[in-house]
């Protein structure tokens, strides 16, 4: 079956803005030639195997490509470095034909050896790469000939094509892997429409056009991603023309920018679930009644309306309502009396003190949302201190092993990179993914949930799988390693001379098709 699509097995500040180009290490950009993209946090790493955030993912997607890609509008799987594919009757052996005439940025031609080296590097046991969980279902990748590869899975996987569209599955030059090895974080050699040029640590990353691109060469000469944590500064950069694209337009700025000549706003729901995570090994958060009490003490809708200006939708599970497998879990309506009783049952009638860690500028109104939670928890006797941490340090803190991890509660937003619950189960809730070996930053272990997750991974009957995913959400929500808060609605601002900007619901962008009027 050629072009087997996803789900095969189930039918399938103004002054502050002045001179920012110099501050962030970039030039002053000429209109129509170069694009300045202002994001909220620094780009920390460009290794496909290392996950930091979706801003880094966006940069990677301009440089490197996978066998397939996801259409930003329809979600359909489309050819990329593979032109066609089929799956064998065992539903475990997939064969991909590679696109001829493709060259990497180092001039070497794309062959099956590059595919084998790229994916096997990620799935290798003990790789130490925190994105290895993305491809955990892949057992082996083999070259059939120079332009044909086989991807073999442990069991039938209906979401394999979606997984192969992730940036952890992009194909890089085998020559570059042999040359740079672990240092490829700043030596990414892909086949994409833009090439890595340079970066200023913690400030900017510059890409330049790949004039030898196998497809239509992109229009912009270059793209420079600059880290600008303050939203007011990003908006000023957009209005003065110092930035061409900015993320996370605040709700209060939307009416003004909507009426500003030369600026366009793109509003789109995401799959990112903002949540408070608990270190389930830290006292008293190791008591499920305390975690449930905090769930009941948080007024989610109040935060959406009062802090986010409506740019979010309330969620009551570990994934957003738009994803396959979502099952509403109405366990924790806002109820301060219930919260106080649960605390009393846990022997904490007088409450307790806790620290909530948060980044600032990584997510829309992240610090402000946490401060709202801080005030709400005070109503039930919980004295929360808000600790704001820079993004790079924050990721390091979250990845500390249990023995040295100092975080008690934290604010984070997990998006689903595929249209299915499996990604979140494998990446965040798997007990084998506890730091430093993954992103189970709650140190969450539940034998029933793990057993269900393993069953879900191999279940091909749609009705049985749907029942399993509903059950696992109930188990996890009752165990309450998270306080799911809301799913973000993203507003991106850009200069109106830009056309063809693609935004994905997993909070990434592609600029391959951007043109400049």
What CA–CA distances, in Å, run from 40 to 186, 231, 248, 423, 500? 20, 8, 8, 24, 22
Cα–Cα distance measured from residue 34 to residue 51, given in angstroms and rounded to the nearest whole number: 27
Q: Where are the alpha helices (DSSP H) in 354-430?
A: 366-378, 391-398, 422-427
Tokens representing 231 are 């939203």
What integer pLDDT is reported at residue 419 of this predicted model?
86
- Beta-carbon contacts of 341 under 8 Å, excluding residues fewer than 6 positions away, are none
Please state whether beta strands 93-98 and 82-87 pair in parallel, antiparallel, or not at all (unpaired).
antiparallel
What integer pLDDT is reported at residue 374 of this predicted model?
98
What integer pLDDT is reported at residue 7 of this predicted model?
36
- Beta-carbon contacts of 179 under 8 Å, excluding residues fewer than 6 positions away, are 187
DSSP state of 209: E
Residues 328-339 as b/e (b if ≥16 CB within 10 A, e otherwise) read ebeebeebbebb
Three-state DSSP class for 356? strand
Q: Which helix (H) or strand (E) holds 287?
A: none
Q: What are phi and psi of 57, to 5 degrees?
A: -60, -40
Three-state DSSP class for 387? strand
- Beta-carbon contacts of 178 under 8 Å, excluding residues fewer than 6 positions away, are none
What integer pLDDT is reported at residue 75 of this predicted model?
85
Please state whether beta strands 204-209 and 222-227 pair in parallel, antiparallel, or not at all (unpaired).
antiparallel
What integer pLDDT is reported at residue 13 of this predicted model?
33
- Beta-carbon contacts of 280 under 8 Å, excluding residues fewer than 6 positions away, are 286, 291, 442, 443, 444, 445, 481
Q: DSSP labels for 251-264?
A: GGGHHHHHTSTTEE
Cα–Cα distance measured from residue 97 to residue 119, given in angstroms and rounded to the nearest whole number: 16
CB count within 10 Å of CB 187 equals: 17
Please state whether beta strands 352-358 and 409-414 pair in parallel, antiparallel, or not at all (unpaired).
parallel
CB count within 10 Å of CB 310 equals: 11
With left for phi above 0 and alpha for psi between -120 and 50, is residue 252 left, alpha or beta?
alpha
What integer pLDDT is reported at residue 2 of this predicted model?
37
Contact present, 2 and 17 (Cβ < 8 Å):
no
pTM reported for the whole predicted model? 0.88
Tokens representing 316 are 């009551």
Contact present, 435 and 400 (Cβ < 8 Å):
yes
Contact present, 174 and 117 (Cβ < 8 Å):
yes
Three-state DSSP class for 380? coil
Of the candidates 369, 351, 375, the one whose C-alpha atom is nearest the C-alpha of residue 293 is 351
What integer pLDDT is reported at residue 5 of this predicted model?
29
The answer, yes or no, to whether the previous bond of 141 is cis (omega within 30 of 0) is: no
* Residue matched to tokens 């029933």: 448
With left for phi above 0 and alpha for psi between -120 and 50, is residue 438 left, alpha or beta?
left
Full pLDDT tens readout for the chain, 517 residues: 333 323 333 333 333 333 443 333 333 333 448 999 999 999 999 999 998 899 999 999 999 999 999 998 888 999 999 999 999 999 999 999 999 999 999 999 999 999 999 999 999 988 888 888 899 999 999 999 999 999 999 999 888 999 999 999 999 999 999 999 888 899 999 999 999 999 999 999 999 999 999 999 899 999 999 999 999 999 999 999 999 999 999 999 999 999 999 999 999 999 999 999 999 999 999 999 999 999 999 999 999 999 999 999 998 999 999 899 999 998 999 999 999 999 999 999 999 999 999 999 999 999 999 999 999 999 999 999 999 999 999 999 999 999 999 999 999 999 988 889 999 999 999 999 999 989 999 999 999 999 999 999 888 888 999 999 999 999 999 999 999 999 999 999 999 999 999 999 999 999 999 999 8
What integer pLDDT is reported at residue 29 of this predicted model?
38
* Residue matched to tokens 């090895």: 181
DSSP state of 276: E
């Amino acid at each position: 079956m050629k072009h087997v699509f996803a789900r095969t097995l189930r039918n399938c500040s103004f002054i502050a803005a002045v001179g920012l180009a110099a501050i962030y290490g970039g030039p002053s950009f000429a209109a129509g030639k170069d694009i300045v993209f202002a994001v909220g946090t620094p780009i920390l790493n460009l290794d496909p195997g290392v996950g930091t955030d979706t801003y880094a993912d966006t940069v990677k997607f301009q440089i490197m490509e996978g066998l397939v890609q996801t259409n930003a509008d329809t979600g359909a799987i489309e050819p990329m470095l593979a032109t066609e594919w089929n799956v064998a009757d065992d539903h475990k052996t997939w064969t991909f034909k590679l696109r001829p005439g493709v060259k990497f940025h180092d001039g070497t031609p794309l062959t099956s050896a590059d595919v084998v080296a790229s994916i096997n590097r990620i799935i290798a046991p003990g790789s130490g790469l925190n994105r290895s969980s993305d491809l955990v279902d892949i057992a082996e990748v083999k070259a059939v000939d120079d332009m044909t590869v086989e991807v073999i899975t442990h069991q039938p996987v209906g979401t394999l094509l979606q997984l192969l569209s992730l940036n952890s599955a992009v194909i890089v030059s085998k020559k570059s892997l042999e040359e740079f090895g672990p240092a490829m974080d700043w030596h990414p050699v892909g086949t994409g429409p833009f090439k890595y040029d340079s970066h200023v640590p913690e400030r900017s990353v510059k890409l330049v056009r790949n004039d030898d691109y196998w497809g239509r060469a992109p229009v912009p000469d270059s793209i420079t991603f600059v880290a600008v944590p303050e939203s007011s500064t990003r908006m000023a950069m957009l209005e003065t023309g110092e930035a061409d694209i900015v993320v996370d337009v605040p709700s209060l700025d939307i009416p003004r920018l909507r009426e500003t000549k030369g600026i366009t706003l793109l509003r789109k729901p995401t799959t990112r679930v903002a949540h408070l995570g608990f270190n389930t090994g830290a006292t008293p958060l190791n008591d499920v009644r305390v975690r449930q009490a905090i769930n009941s003490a948080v007024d989610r809708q109040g935060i959406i309306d009062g802090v986010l200006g409506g740019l979010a939708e309330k969620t009551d599970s570990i994934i957003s309502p738009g994803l396959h497998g979502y099952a509403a879990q109405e366990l924790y309506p806002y109820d301060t009396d219930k919260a106080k009783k649960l605390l009393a049952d846990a022997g904490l009638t007088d409450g307790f003190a806790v620290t909530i860690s948060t980044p600032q500028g990584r997510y829309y109104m992240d610090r402000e949302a946490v401060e709202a939670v801080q005030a709400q928890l005070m109503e039930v006797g919980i004295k929360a201190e808000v600790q704001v941490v820079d993004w790079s340090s924050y990721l390091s803190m979250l990845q500390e092993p249990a023995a040295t991890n100092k975080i008690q509660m934290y604010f984070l937003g997990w998006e689903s990179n595929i249209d299915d619950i499996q990604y979140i189960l494998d990446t965040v809730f798997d007990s084998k993914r506890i730091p430093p070996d993954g992103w189970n930053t709650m140190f969450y272990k539940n034998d029933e949930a793990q057993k269900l997750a393993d069953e879900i991974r191999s279940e091909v009957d749609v009705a049985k799988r749907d029942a399993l995913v509903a059950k696992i959400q109930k188990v996890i929500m009752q165990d309450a390693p998270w306080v799911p808060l809301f799913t973000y609605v993203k507003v991106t601002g850009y200069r109106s001379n830009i056309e063809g900007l693609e935004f994905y619901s997993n909070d990434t962008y592609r600029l391959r098709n951007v043109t400049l009027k």
